[in-house]
């Protein structure tokens, strides 16, 4: 069975403290709570990984995200504290990359992925990284539509990039200025 999610890619860092002015409050008002990922979330996030991705990340890799100077990890919890989704962003050399985003199937279609994407935008502004990129399965239409709604455009294809099942990856960018042809 194919496990399409909202995104496939890699890593995370957790140096941010939630505050009322950084976007998390709107997630709380909608019933879900968006907060920085902690060590206590690793086991639940691993379960999200196994449910949503055919190439689930290990607990070690998830733990390493929390120590990375380039990565951020955010967890979305339901009103009862159950982890229902997470995202990992990487910022390096003035650019940002959406490494991973996943929402459990039973919570999809309710705007939860948008809360994670809104956090990406906030983080990109904080990091002064206006250009953002990501990879996504070419057949993951819900994810592609989400990314397009945030201004991303497909710029390249990596043939047979994903396994289980084999599928191409679209490389999408949201650039602050148009790219310069070479």
- Give strand pairing partners of 153: 173
C-alpha angle 56-61-67 in degrees, rounded to nearest 5: 145
Q: How many residues can be counted in the chain?
A: 182
- The catalytic residue among 8, 97, 135, 167 is 135
Treating both helix axes as pointing N-terminal to C-terminal, what angle do 112-126 and 141-149 enclose, rounded to 10 degrees?
Answer: 40
Please identify which of the residues 49, 72, 86, 147 carries the catalytic annotation: 147
Q: Is 135 among the residues known to form the active site?
A: yes
Whether 67 is a known active-site residue: answer: no
Give dist(CA 112, CA 109) in Å, integer: 7
Instruction: Give which of 79, 85, 86, 73 is closest to 29, Cα–Cα.
Output: 79
Beta strands in 1-70 (DSSP E): 33-36
| Contact by Cβ (8 Å): 80, 93 | no
Classify residue 11 by its DSSP letter. Answer: -
Catalytic site positions: 135, 147
């Amino acid at each position: 069975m194919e496990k399409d999610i909202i995104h496939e890619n890699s890593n995370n860092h957790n140096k941010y403290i939630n505050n009322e002015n950084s976007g998390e409050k709107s997630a709380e008002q909608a019933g879900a709570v968006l907060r920085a990922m902690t060590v206590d979330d690793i086991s639940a996030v691993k379960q999200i990984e196994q449910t949503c991705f055919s190439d689930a990340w290990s607990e070690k890799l998830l733990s390493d995200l929390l120590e990375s100077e380039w990565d951020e990890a955010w967890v979305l919890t339901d009103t009862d504290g159950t982890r229902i989704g997470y995202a990992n962003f990487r910022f390096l050399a003035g650019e940002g990359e959406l490494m991973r985003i996943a929402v459990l199937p039973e919570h999809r279609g309710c705007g939860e992925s948008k809360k994670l994407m809104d956090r990406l935008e906030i983080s990109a502004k904080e990091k002064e990284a206006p250009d953002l990129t990501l990879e996504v399965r070419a057949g993951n239409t819900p994810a592609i539509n989400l990314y397009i709604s945030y201004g991303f455009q497909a710029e390249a294809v990596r043939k047979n990039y994903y396994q289980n099942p084999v599928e191409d990856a679209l490389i999408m960018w949201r650039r602050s200025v148009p790219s310069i042809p070479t």
